[in-house]
Structure 1
Amino acid sequence: MIVRFGYVAMSVQLKNASPSQTMTVKQFEQIKDKEAAIRKLERIAYSNLENCFRLLKHNLAHDITFFRLSSKLVPLVNHPYTEGWKYEDAIASILKEIGEFIKKHQMRVGFHPDHFVVLNNLNEDLLKRSLQTLVYHYKLLTRMNIDPVHRCVLHVGGAKNGIVSGLEDFLENFEKIPSVIQQMLILENDDTVFHIEDVLYLGEKLQIPVVLDIHHHDIHQPETFNFLNVWNRVVETWKHSPLPVKIHVSSPKEEANDKRHHDYIDVDRLMAFLQEIKGTVSQLDVMIEAKMKDEALIRLMKQLEEQKDIFVLDGASIQFKEN
């Protein structure tokens, strides 16, 4: 089993390379000429993408070919002030260049829109805004000439009227969104409301791949379950995906049930998981969600070098030795 590691959105090693520079609504309002304000937004977006490109080159130098792109590449996108703005045309050239680089080096990239993107809320306004955000991610991927299938991780949402109602509302709204957006989605278990079996209910019913978040699962899980059975069901949801099975890994900041992410990854907890699922997949992509970003990945790889039953393949991937 080959395990490839990636990290989220920005580097702590690479200086002055934020892909999430922004402009506030107040700053936008202060520019009297709205065309000039839009041009400024385009310059910020272009700068974000230049930094994103720098991050990808930095990653390649460390053998990191798995990366979550920032969802904040284009500021004030879908805000009422920017309605009708063809941002994708203004940044088309650099998106194309980034996409060519990603494809050339066989990188896996994706997005994880923030918690405001909710598909199980029956409020039509909220659903519309969530769909607009997903369309924005779709446009970025297609302008990079990257197949958008299974590139966007979402949580199920809220459960104001209970878990069952929350799941059924997701099913109802899922049918309302365009098929290209449906195909872009992956679902993740959360640490408060929808545990892994809830998410598998949707994943299996709608043929959406499921990402197991180990930290979330440790904090919030079914009362009784067989882990290997649950894991095999997770793997099965990826059967028709063009991409390898993906999981999320983070460690609690302090006590075991702390929902906050630690700066680094607990190598013992990770290895216990990998040993348990060893041999169930040929490749596993592990997204590290740690405060120290690439630094956490590099430190983890040094710790993995000391493990007895693995080979380190390169700066960001390992392989288990055969028994």
Structure 2
Amino acid sequence: MRIYFGYVAMSVIVPECTPSKTITFQNLSKIDGEKARFSRLSSIARENLRNTRRLFFHNQAHDIKLFRITSKLIPLATHPIAENWDWFVEVKDELKSLGDYARENAFRISAHPDHFTLLNSPREEVAEASIRDLEYHLRIMDGMGLDSSAKLVIHVGGSYGNKEASLKRFIQNYKLLSSEFKQRIVLENDDKIYTAREVLGLCQELKIPMVLDIHHHWCNNHNDDVGDYLADIFATWEGEARPPKIHLSSPKDAKRFRSHADNVEASFFLEFLAKARPLNRDFDVMIEAKNKDQALFNLLAELKSIPYIHFIDEGSIEV
């Protein structure tokens, strides 16, 4: 089986290449005139897109086909101060060019809307804001010309004092979404509330692919073994154009065990790999470490000493 590795949003290796440059609401408000404010936002957005393209070049040079684009690509895109700014028209050519390069090089792209994207919130205004955020991400994917294999990873949300009711509310709100949203959304287990087994049940009911976060499972598992149902998790990706995907990170330390460490402990990955090997199925690994691409390279360097792991190129292995 072949395993592909990627990293999140930005590089610690490529200098001065942030794709997430922004401006605060307060500072934007100091600019006189709506036209001047929108010009400033457009300038930042174009810089972010140029830097994303530089990251794409970096990834291609190192055989990294898996990448999560930042949700901050377009500054203040969903903020009320920018509601009259047609950012899509301003950057549509840059988005198309970026998407063309991603498709030409067979990149598998995803995004992870922020933690405030909560489809199961009992507050109507929060649910509406969540839809607006998803719409923003959808426009990015569509503007890049990416098909439905480019996914939006979200969490189920909060429990709001009644977990069962919150799960039902997620189901109700999800069913109201358009097919454009449904073909892109994938669900991930979290580190406090919804376990991998619970998210799997939801994904099976709604026919949503599931991203297994093994660090989150380590934090929140109700003492079950994910190996017992890993085949079922991978099966939620049946019919998709891309292989199943997991998130990989290590605990920062004993006290801050929910936080991501700078790098990934090889043992953390190898423990999971032992559960996945019997399935003999390709899968993607998104590294969520603080050291970004350097953490990816560090992990792969450690894996070179494992006799049953064979390197196909700089960004993928065969087991």
User: TM-score normalised to the size of structure 2?
Assistant: 0.97
Q: In structure 2, what is the equivalent of residue 277 of structure 1? A: 276
CA distance in 2 between partners of 1:319 and 1:59 (Å): 19
Query: In structure 2, what is the Cα distance between the partners aligned to 1:64 and 1:150?
Result: 16
> Given residue 110 of structure 2, which amino acid in structure 1 is its aligned partner?
G
Q: Which amino acid aligns with 2:188?
A: E
Paired residues of 1:196 and 1:222 also in contact (CA < 8 A): no
Offset at 1:202? 1.2
Report the counterpart of residue 120 of structure 1 in structure 2.
120
Which stretch of the first structure deviates more once superposed, 291-300 or 279-288?
279-288
3-state DSSP of counterpart to 2:279: coil
Question: Displacement, 1:206?
Answer: 0.7
The percentage of aligned residue pairs carrying the same residue is 37
Correspondences of 1:141-220 after superposition (within 5 Å):
141-149=141-149, 151-220=151-220
2:92 corresponds to which residue? Answer: 92
1:226-241 alignment runs, 5 A limit: 226-241=225-240
Gaps of 5+ in 1: none
Which AA in structure 2 matches 1:244? P
In the alignment, which residue of structure 2 is the partner of 1:45? 45
Displacement of 1:228:
3.0
**SS, match of residue 186 in structure 1:** strand
**2:246 maps to 1:261:** no
Aligned length: 319
Unaligned residue ranges in structure 2 (runs of 5+): none
- 1:54, distance to aligned residue in structure 2 (A): 0.2
The Cα shift of 1:277 comes to 1.1
Cα contact 1:150–1:241 (8 A) shared by 2:
no
Does 2:63 align with 1:63?
yes
Structure 1: how far apart are the matches of 2:68 and 2:78?
Answer: 21
CA offset digits 1:135-175 (Å, max 9, x no partner): 11111111111013551000110001222112111011112
Instruction: Give the match's secondary structure for 1:234.
Output: helix
Q: Which residue is 1:319 aligned to?
A: 318
Say whether the 8 Å CA contact 1:263–1:292 is kept in structure 2: yes
Alignment partners' CA distance in 2, 1:148 and 1:84: 28
> TM-score scaled to structure 1, two decimals?
0.96
- Distance across 2 between alignment mates of 1:257 and 1:32: 44
How many Å separate the matches in 2 of 1:226 and 1:273?
Answer: 11
CA distance in 1, matches of 2:176, 2:65: 34
Q: Which residue does 2:8 correspond to in 1?
A: 8
Distance 1:281 1:246 in 2: 14
Aligned-partner SS, 1:235: helix
Comparing 254-263 with 301-310, greater Cα deviation is found at 254-263
Letter in 2 for 1:101: Y
Judged with a 3 Å threshold, the aligned counterparts in structure 2 of structure 1 residues 12 and 279 are, in CA distance, closer, same or farther, namely same
3-state SS, counterpart of residue 258 of structure 1: coil
